[in-house]
Structure 1
Amino acid sequence: MDDLFVFLSQEWMLVGILVVLIYVYAWRERLKNGQPITTSEATVLINSDAAVWLDVRDSGEFKSGHMVDAVNIPFSKLSEQIDSLEKYRDKTLIVVDKMGQHAGSAGRQLGAKGFTVRRLSGGISEWQNQSLPLVKK
């Protein structure tokens, strides 16, 4: 363990560069998945007709409560149904899931196909925590 501290103190510049590179890599990966968006920013985009909700939760969760006019494509079926989103190519797709666990992967898939993507920070849980409205089927 002492050798590690000696190395870190002697090679502080190399260690610093490594930390910066790791940070830059993580930041770029985060952007590839679609930038996070707050509930208020998302509402502005939706109300200005510049965005569409894409809910990637399964059908049961979607029916228990979702955003008005949200498109539901379960994450497990996204890769095979991605072509059905072509009609929204000129809009930003705001990816919504339960708590953010699948939004990044969905955003990466959509971004690779050329869509403009944002991820709702905190997912539907954050939406509900702020007492924002949901449609139930």
Structure 2
Amino acid sequence: MIDQILEFSTNHWDMVAIFVLILATVVFVEMRGNAKGISPASLTNLMNNKDAVVVDLRTAKEFRTGHITGAINIPADKLKDKNAELEKHKSTPIILVCKTGMTAGTNAKELIKAGFEVYKLQGGIAEWENSSLPLVKA
């Protein structure tokens, strides 16, 4: 198998170089100024021990279908406008939650620049549900 990989790499060095470049770019972008991803268990720990604030970035309709207890609903497209609302929570960790974890990572950068301690729930609310953790329906 290793022989085949080496043969492929030798014969298609240009494709391998492009793959390595793309991989390096993705790693660089993900590590640069992004929120640390945490598990549902770590989220619960931060909420219980450090009074972390959960900010649910989904739409109001999605939020009503089920959200983490105590979560604040600020849709992702309105997060920049609501920074002032979050100022009172600047001394506590902010945990961003979205549907799958992708939107939270993108939106975290603005809060990090503003001086917040920001985390994102890996896998989003879908991972929370997969872990059989409770949701509040409103």
TM-score by length of 1: 0.80
Distance in 1, Cα, partners of 2:136 & 2:89? 21
RMSD over aligned Cα, in angstroms?
A: 2.5
Distance in 1, Cα, partners of 2:128 & 2:110? 24
- 1:7 deviates by 9.9
Distance in 1, Cα, partners of 2:28 & 2:41? 24
- 1:104 deviates by 1.1
Give the counterpart letter for 1:41 in structure 2.
S
Q: What SS does the aligned partner of 1:102 have?
A: helix
1:71-90 residue pairs with structure 2 within 5 A?
Answer: 71-90=72-91
Q: Does 1:128 align with 2:116?
A: no
Equivalent residues of 2:43, 2:95 under 8 A apart: yes
Distance in 1, Cα, partners of 2:52 & 2:113? 18
Which residue is equivalent to 1:29? 29
Unaligned runs of 5+ residues in structure 1 are 9-14
Which residue is equivalent to 1:101? 102
- 1:28 deviates by 4.8
Of all paired residues, the percent bearing the same amino acid is 37
Distance in 2, Cα, partners of 1:69 & 1:61? 15
Distance in 1, Cα, partners of 2:61 & 2:72? 14
- 1:101 deviates by 2.3
- 1:81 deviates by 1.2
Distance in 2, Cα, partners of 1:93 & 1:50? 9
How many residues in Structure 1 have an aligned counterpart in Structure 2?
127
Q: Structure 1 residues 101-110 or 117-126, which shifts more? A: 101-110
Q: Structure 1 residues 46-55 or 34-43, which shifts more? A: 46-55
Distance in 2, Cα, partners of 1:43 & 1:112? 25
Give the counterpart letter for 1:30 in structure 2.
E
Which residue is equivalent to 1:62? 63
Unaligned runs of 5+ residues in structure 2 are 1-8
Q: Does 1:39 align with 2:40?
A: yes
Q: What SS does the aligned partner of 1:119 have?
A: strand
- 1:80 deviates by 1.1
